[in-house]
Structure 1
């Protein structure tokens, strides 16, 4: 898959325009420009005409050399962050609001083969988040290799892999499963590329992880009502939070889709919310309920900061960028605590639990499964069947009566 690329001059100009829309200060933008000048020098020295993700990564490795990220000066970490902003905007046309962004370095000859493997996976179109997951997991393997003095791929043997897998036992089963899966793919790659003499992926201990289905976490209609009532709508933040939580609770939209809502998604004349879901990439149409429409209007008129950014829900302080799903998760948790709604360790307490709760309400109302699937934006009803396990009334109807046991059965057991 061909990487997105652009001349550095045009790219930085577009990024500056975007940051200005988010109300970034002139001093902060000047800091970005100063860092990008170092990128420009690097590209000029290496006769590079276009900037892309690979150029950004090469620049960062040029900057840090053989040092680790934690050993860099503060100004160097700032330059890395500014370079990552270029790459992120080039690939997503947005810049996520963050206070710190760490660069996961993969150094040395083995680190280069890991980067090569990640580039290979990129050719299949994996997301930016998945790329970071691969870097994080391979970094864990690289650290373990360094701690045991292994600097050559052919020094990896079965005993080493067994010990590596054993020390992963301290992590959660899923974390261990993901790490070993990524490591196995990497080991297979270096063998296929002729970088290793033995296919060590066959020596890695088998992972017996089985994903256990869990009951969806739900909240009663009374609890959802108390959650909404706990939001103080007198402030701009409260107006924003109320509208976002209300959309999640009434329509069951995923947190990422709520945060990505734009003005184009609201069809006021038709009373519809129309969008393409970030997770499934499929379209969905949902009714613009009166209470939701009124909450959005209240926020737009009296709470939303002045900004040309197309997203509806923004941060209350500069930079006025869209919120991300983790922020919405924190919002829901905050008001659950304020409403004095207790949640057990097993019960989830984020926006997705409100989505589950909506499904539970629809089941109580005997809504057909295909209709629930359409409301939740599932591609097929198989994804919706999991909610059948929380429909206790219907499950009780399926229960079979236990036949009476004759007295002679107990008498046989006592030896009579």
Structure 2
């Protein structure tokens, strides 16, 4: 096999096509990958990249995914990520697994142990699991870079290694570069302050001027939400389970992680309330157990939920009857949105988080105060909720100003 660092995209993709044909892939399936690779090719041309390698694939995936969780991506975005992953996997191993597996990011050796120590420190300082996992991903890329340069311990680490790693980040999106630099700076500071590194190398890491611009949230109208709910067939165990989860997202704005993690102990029938600690914010939240949701839960428990001693409310419908996971919930919501015949959903987010956004939009239409919406959505402050103001177009139109004619005194002297 040709050196992976000196293969063009055409060379790698041609080898993968040959591999697919040896496995009797049909023309349609191969064409699916070819279309994805053409998007990768465009990305490489735009960034003046001549050769395909793992970090090019990572950069392409980072551009596609941005700051979104994988479960929130569209089917097309996931397909593009798959197309990049098969190129990298074949280039590195000479084969491709038939099922995607979760990448583990092993942290080996002295430097890997240092990274593990830093991650434990971050967790002890109150960083969320998502933040720590992101730090792990970014610092694993540093570890891979150092290993490729035969740097296996901190005594061999010098200024040039850090600078070369930073210079190699040009493939990535601005948001990813910002996060990687932040993780690197924090790690280097940790090494110096704990006596692991003799020198404080944080001065080598440039400050990033990137500022995250919040995307306009995807929302569906009240009528579209009603069509979505009506599309769920409640006459079978799966439908009885699915309608409860969709209602929790659409009526109460619960996140997918909190829906999938919901336990029997969270349902307080005596007060008709739901009490839980949000997985994302670690904040306690209390929500009303609406009659519509309560009745759906009872119907599911009596006639839909498999017999199990697990404490979780929602289980898989087939054996093994394990706890339902977040990506599955995303696929469930996406399925029913399509089933409901809602137009243009391919160009919109179509997971449970979109239903959360939609609830915020409906509440805004009803002139609900921001603090109340914040409480419903479980935001720690109203700043997080303000992004939804941009979807309240009717109110925004009331704030618009007429454009003055050019012959007014205001424009005198303007050429």
TM-score (norm: length of structure 2): 0.68
When residues 201 and 154 of structure 1 are mapped into structure 2, their CA distance, relative to the original with a 3 A threshold, is farther
On the 8 A contact 1:343/1:349 being kept in 2, the answer is no
When residues 221 and 262 of structure 1 are mapped into structure 2, their CA distance, relative to the original with a 3 A threshold, is same
More deviation in 333-342 or 294-303?
A: 333-342
In the TM superposition, what whole-angstrom CA distance separates every residue of 1:163-191 from its partner, at most 9, and x where no partner exists? 32232232233332222211221222222
Give unmatched runs, 5+ long, in structure 2. Answer: 1-91, 94-98
Deviation for aligned residue 1:390: 1.2
Q: Which residue of 2 aligns with 1:362?
A: 363
1:128-207 aligned at under 5 Å gives the runs: 128-207=129-208
On the 8 A contact 1:274/1:285 being kept in 2, the answer is yes
Deviation for aligned residue 1:373: 2.0
Q: Which residue of 2 aligns with 1:348?
A: 349
On the 8 A contact 2:333/2:350 being kept in 1, the answer is yes
Larger Rg belongs to = 1
Matches of 1:338 and 1:172, distance apart in 2: 35
1:259-274 aligned at under 5 Å gives the runs: 259-274=260-275
Matches of 1:251 and 1:177, distance apart in 2: 34
Deviation for aligned residue 1:402: 1.8
1:241-280 aligned at under 5 Å gives the runs: 241-280=242-281
When residues 159 and 284 of structure 1 are mapped into structure 2, their CA distance, relative to the original with a 3 A threshold, is same
Q: Which residue of 2 aligns with 1:121?
A: 122
Q: Which residue of 1 aligns with 2:379?
A: 378
Matches of 2:241 and 2:143, distance apart in 1: 44
Q: Which residue of 2 aligns with 1:397?
A: 398
When residues 153 and 217 of structure 1 are mapped into structure 2, their CA distance, relative to the original with a 3 A threshold, is same
When residues 192 and 241 of structure 1 are mapped into structure 2, their CA distance, relative to the original with a 3 A threshold, is same
Deviation for aligned residue 1:328: 1.5
More deviation in 214-223 or 146-155?
A: 146-155
Where 1:384 maps in the other structure, the secondary structure is helix
Give unmatched runs, 5+ long, in structure 1. Answer: 1-69, 72-97
More deviation in 217-226 or 322-331?
A: 322-331
1:42-121 aligned at under 5 Å gives the runs: 103-121=104-122
Matches of 2:120 and 2:248, distance apart in 1: 39
On the 8 A contact 1:162/1:205 being kept in 2, the answer is no
Query: How many aligned residue pairs are there?
Result: 319
Q: Which residue of 2 aligns with 1:214?
A: 215
Where 1:275 maps in the other structure, the secondary structure is strand
Deviation for aligned residue 1:354: 0.7
Superposition RMSD on alpha carbons, in Å? 3.0
